[in-house]
Amino acid sequence: MDGGRTNRAAPVFILLGPPGAGKGTQARLLQERFGLVQLSTGDLLRKAVADGTEAGLKARPIMEAGGLVTDEIVLAILRERLAAPDCAKGVVLDGFPRTEAQAEALDRMLDASGQSIDAAISLEVDDVKMVLRISGRMTCGSCGEGYHETFKPPRVAETCDACGATDMTRRADDNAKTVMSRLDAYHAQTAPLLDYYGARGVLHRIDAMREINVVADAIAETMVGETA
């Protein structure tokens, strides 16, 4: 199925899943494997502000005040980024949309450029096990590479495999109480997107509790099928 996408239009994939499901990790692997561009709305917002784009200028005062940037601004920034040459091979959206209203607005935006969602990939997890997974996360303070005490430990304790730095950091909110609160918020707000994309025939459920490479292979198989 191609969801009505034209032959020239770049494919668009979405990764869905609660915090800690591995969306960022899998998006980076897809970028390496297929040449797709990983688009994280948080990163896009910060870059648009830093670059002083039209949408970035609108977002700056809101972000500086600690407010939530409107969907309209987020979509404008996303539209700007999708028009860049490096997105010609396709993109994978990480962290957007989060609500059905955002999904509908995204569909309208993509339709205007002859694109559509090729696949919405839901990374399925076990809530109880997710507490253990997230509470063991750590990140290299120098290069940003992510690790986990159990699932992805560095080869040398507290030392980054990628750059050799020893300043591993842990998020203060990566604790059981906060994780459960975030999972509850995901199920209440974002999980309904599964019905939305399921009704459009582009939803694919992937067991994300397996090893990273196994999950990556399952996602890749799905994506190859969608773009064949």
Catalytic residues: 23, 98, 137, 171, 182
Q: List the beta strands (DSSP E) in 168-218.
A: 168-169, 203-207
DSSP state for residue 207 in the 8-state scheme: E
User: Is the distance from CB of 121 to CB of 222 less than 8 angstroms?
Assistant: yes
Exposure b/e, 33-54, CB count within 10 A at least 16 = b: ebebbbbbbeebbeebbeeebe
Query: Distance of CA 26 to CAs 20, 96, 104, 135, 227, Å?
Result: 11, 15, 24, 19, 18
Burial class from Cβ neighbours inside 10 Å (0-12, 13-18, 19+) for residue 178 reads: middle
DSSP letters of 127-146? Answer: HHHHHHHHHTEEEETTT--E
